Copies of this chain bind each other. A is one copy, B any other.
Amino acid sequence: MSQLLYGVAYYDEYMPSDRLHQDVELMQAAGINVVRIAESTWSTHEPQPGVFDFASVDRVLDAMHHAGIRVIVGTPTYAVPTWLARAHPEVLVVTPQGPRPYGARQNMDITSPAYRFYAERIIRQLIGHVCDHPAVIGYQADNETKHYHTSGPNVQLLFVKYVHDIFGSLDDLNARFGLDYWSNRINSWEDFPSAVGTINASLGAEFAKFQRRLVTEFLAWQVAIINEYKRPGQFVMQNFDLEWRGYSYGVQPDVDHFAAAAAFDIAGIDIYHPSQHDLTGIEIAFGGDLARSLKRASYQVVETQAQGFAHWVPFPGQLRLQAFSHLASGANMVAYWHWHSIHNSFETYWKGLLSHDFAPNPVYEEARMIGADFARLSAHLSNLRKPNKVAMLVSNEALTGIEQFRMLSFKRPYNDVVRLMYDQLYRMNVACDIVGPSSEHLEDYTLLIIPALYAAPDSLLEQLNAFVRDGGHAVYTFKSGFADEYLKVRAVPQPGIISEACGVSYSLFVEPKQVALRGDPFGVGAEHNSVEAWIELLTPTTAEALASYDHPHWGRYAAITRNRYGAGTATYIGCMTSAAIMARVLEQAVRNAGLWGADQELSFPLITRWGINDAGKSVHYYFNYCDDPQSFRYPHEDGTELLSDALIRQDDVRAIDPWGVVIVEEE
C-alpha cells in the first residue's frame, strides 16, 4: 500500500434516513478514500441467533467500490446482541465489582465458551461474506479489545492452571510471592483463593499479567479465524488504545501491546487528544511512536477526533496540523471516528466530521484540504521510516507494580513518569521509539530512556548493564530496578542490579515537602527548581552527583547522578523532578550521547519530525503548535516545501502560520 489513506468510520446502520449516496459524494469531495465499517453492529447483522443479514454491509461495499473508496471490515464482536445476553447471561463479564449488566459495549467475558461460539460464527459469516469483494482491503479484529477485568470463577480456574504451569510447586510460589505474609500461604492447590480479594501485590500483579495474556490470546484467536479468509493483499489490524484520562494518555495498563501486536499484519491505534489551546501534538507523537515501534513499520491511525467533544472542536488549521503530525510519526492512514454525528444513544456528543445535520461545516471544509494534500503528496509522504537512536523502555509490569503499591508508596501512576520524560523529549524535538522489556533491538539504540522500571527480571537489568558497558547511554528514574518480575523487592542495596552501571546506592526514601535541588544546579529558576512525591536518598559509589537535595536533614544525599560505566554512561534520577529539571537532565543525556543536532535547536511550540520516504529522501516536517505565527531557520540540505511546491535552501528563514505545517523533502 503506497497510498496514504484518509478515512472515516461509517455506520449506515445508524442513519436516520437512507443517505448513502449523498455521504459517498461528500466523502469523495473531501478526499476520503477508505471507510471502516461493521465493527459495532452485530445485532443488525445477526438479528436472531443463526439468522444473518448483511444487507447494510453489501450496500456500503458496493457504493464505496463504485466511488473508489476502500473498505476495512471489522468483526462486530466487542458489542453483543440483546439475544445473546438474554439466552446466555454468562457471556457478560464478572468483574471484581460483580457482573456487568447488558447495555454497554465491552461487557463480555472474552473467555466465555458461549461468547466464543457465537463470536466465531459471526466472524466466519461476515468475513466469508465480504472477503472476495473488491472494495475490501483489510480487516479489523474486534475493537479496542481489553480484558474488561474478567475475574469470575472460570477465569480464576484458568489463572490457577497458569500459575501451576509457571511454578509447578507451591513452595516456590509461596516463596516468590511472599505468601506467608498475613497467613496467605497456599499449602494445597485446592485452597487457592480468588485473586480478586488478594492484598498480595505479587499475586495481584501476576493476575493482571494473566489478564493481559487473555487479551493476546483472544486477539490471536480472532486473527487466526480471519486469516482463513484473508485474500492476498488484504491485511488484519486492531485499533489499540492507550491509557485513558479523558484522552489517550500513556501506556495501556490492560493490554501488552508488544505481545498482542504479533498476530497482526499492521499496527493500528486510536488517538484522542486535547485540542484548542491545549493542543500540543504530544499524544499524536506518543501514540504514533508506540504504534510504529510495535511492528517496526508504518501504522494506521484507525480513530482520531474530527469535531469530537465540545472541548475538542478544532480551531481553524488544527485538523490539518493534526493530520500531518500523524504522518510525521510514520502513519500511513489517518481515519476519523467518525463520519457523521450520531443522533441517539451514548456518543451523541462525540461528534464526527459532519454534525447531526449532515451539512458541510468548517471542520469538514478543512478535511477537504487535507484530503487533497494527501492525494497529491501520497508518494512523498507514505511509508516514512524513522531510524531513531533514542528509545524509551516502557513496561506493563512496571506499571502494574507501581499501581499495586500506590496507596502506601509513590502515589502517582506510572504513566505520570512516562509522560514526564516523553513530553520533555518531544518538546526538544528528540525523536524516539518505544520498546518493551522483551525487545530484541535494544542494541539498535544509543540512548535508552527508562522511566520507573519498577519490576523487571534480573536478566533484563543485566542486559541493560551490558548495554551501558558496551557504550550505550541510559537514563533511569527512581524506583527502577527495585523489584523482580514477581514484585519481590531485591534484598540488596538499591537500585539493585543496576547499581553497578549507575554507581549509586540507597536504602532510604522519603516523601518530600517543598524540597528543591540545592543551588539550582540546572539553572531552571526558583519556580521550577522543585521535586515532588518521591525522593530517594542516594549515595554515589562511583557516580558523580549532578544534584543534591536542599533540605536540613537530607542535604547530604545525592538526588541525580551520572556514572561512567564501561564505554557508556548511566544517569539515575532519584526523585520526581519538575518538567524543567527533567528537560535539562535529558538534554545533558542527549548531548552526552552525541545525539544533539540541528533539530534540537528548535523547541516547542516549534516541532520538527523527520523520516525517510520510499524514494530514500529525507522528509522534514515543521509544525507550529501555537496560536501565534513563528519562523525558523531551515538547517538541512536544500529541498522542496511540498505543500507550496516551493524550493527551500539551507539556512532560509521560513515563516510558519499559527497551527501551521511546513514539509520539506530534501533534494
Interface set of A (CB-CB < 8 Å, partner B): 11, 13-14, 16-17, 40-44, 47-48, 76, 79-83, 85-86, 100-105, 175, 177-188, 190-194, 196-202, 276-277, 307, 309-311, 313, 315-316, 341-350, 355-359, 361-363, 405, 408-410, 486-494, 507-511, 513, 534, 552-553, 627
A348 x B188 contact (CB < 8 A): no
Interchain nearest-CB distance for A343 vs B (Å): 4
Given contacts A101-B197, A102-B193, A181-B342, 11 further A-B contacts (CB under 8 A): A16-B488, A41-B180, A44-B183, A82-B191, A101-B196, A103-B200, A177-B344, A201-B346, A310-B511, A347-B408, A349-B409
A489 x B343 contact (CB < 8 A): yes
A181 x B491 contact (CB < 8 A): no
B343 x A199 contact (CB < 8 A): no
A491 x B356 contact (CB < 8 A): yes
Closest to A56 in B: B180
A344 x B102 contact (CB < 8 A): no
Query: Out of B83, B508, B534, which one reaches A363, CB within 8 Å?
Result: B508
Interchain nearest-CB distance for A188 vs B (Å): 6
B356 x A494 contact (CB < 8 A): yes
A311 x B185 contact (CB < 8 A): no
Query: Out of B198, B350, B487, B492, which one reaches A103, CB within 8 Å?
Result: B198
Question: Given A358-B491, A408-B309, do A85 and B509 touch, yes or no (CB 8 Å)?
Answer: no
Residues of B with C-beta under 8 A to A490: 356-357
Closest to A175 in B: B16
Give Cα distance in the complex from A349 to B184, angstroms: 18
A408 x B200 contact (CB < 8 A): no
CB-defined A-B contacts under 8 Å, sample of 9 = A43-B185, A44-B185, A47-B185, A48-B187, A181-B347, A277-B513, A309-B511, A316-B553, A355-B507
Closest to A12 in B: B180
Residues of B with C-beta under 8 A to A507: 355-357, 359, 361
Residues of B with C-beta under 8 A to A487: 344
Residues of B with C-beta under 8 A to A508: 307, 313, 355, 361-363
Question: Given A489-B343, A627-B552, do A310 and B362 touch, yes or no (CB 8 Å)?
Answer: no
A194 x B553 contact (CB < 8 A): no
B42 x A183 contact (CB < 8 A): yes
Closest to A627 in B: B552
Query: 4 nearest interchain CB pairs?
Result: A178-B344, A101-B197, A103-B197, A79-B183
Residues of B with C-beta under 8 A to A17: 491
Residues of B with C-beta under 8 A to A357: 490-494, 507
Interchain nearest-CB distance for A144 vs B (Å): 12
Give Cα distance in the complex from A195 to B201, angstroms: 35
A345 x B201 contact (CB < 8 A): yes
Closest to A411 in B: B310
Give Cα distance in the complex from A22 to B180, angstroms: 21
Interchain nearest-CB distance for A74 vs B (Å): 12
A348 x B201 contact (CB < 8 A): yes
Residues of B with C-beta under 8 A to A199: 103-104, 345-346
Give Cα distance in the complex from A408 to B193, angstroms: 39
Give Cα distance in the complex from A79 to B182, angstroms: 6
Residues of B with C-beta under 8 A to A202: 344-345
Give Cα distance in the complex from A193 to B494, angstroms: 55
Closest to A341 in B: B489
Closest to A195 in B: B103
Residues of B with C-beta under 8 A to A196: 101, 103
Query: Out of B76, B310, B347, B513, which one reaches A183, CB within 8 Å?
Result: B76
A346 x B311 contact (CB < 8 A): no
Residues of B with C-beta under 8 A to A76: 183
Query: Out of B41, B197, B361, B486, which one reaches A102, CB within 8 Å?
Result: B197
Interchain nearest-CB distance for A121 vs B (Å): 15
Residues of B with C-beta under 8 A to A486: 344
Interchain nearest-CB distance for A307 vs B (Å): 7
Question: Given A40-B183, A345-B178, A494-B356, do A188 and B489 touch, yes or no (CB 8 Å)?
Answer: no
Residues of B with C-beta under 8 A to A104: 182, 197, 199
Residues of B with C-beta under 8 A to A14: 178, 180-181
Residues of B with C-beta under 8 A to A491: 16-17, 343, 356-358
Residues of B with C-beta under 8 A to A192: 82
Interchain nearest-CB distance for A37 vs B (Å): 13
Give Cα distance in the complex from A200 to B342, angstroms: 12
Closest to A48 in B: B187
B190 x A86 contact (CB < 8 A): yes
Residues of B with C-beta under 8 A to A48: 187-188
A344 x B310 contact (CB < 8 A): no
Residues of B with C-beta under 8 A to A186: 43, 82
Interchain nearest-CB distance for A357 vs B (Å): 5
Residues of B with C-beta under 8 A to A180: 11, 13-14, 41, 43-44
A510 x B313 contact (CB < 8 A): yes
A83 x B188 contact (CB < 8 A): yes
Give Cα distance in the complex from A489 to B354, angstroms: 14
A86 x B193 contact (CB < 8 A): yes
B43 x A348 contact (CB < 8 A): no
> In this complex, which of A177, A183, A494 has the most chain B Cβ atoms within 10 angstroms of its Cβ?
A183
Residues of B with C-beta under 8 A to A178: 14, 342-345
A346 x B200 contact (CB < 8 A): yes
Closest to A198 in B: B103
Give Cα distance in the complex from A257 to B493, angstroms: 42
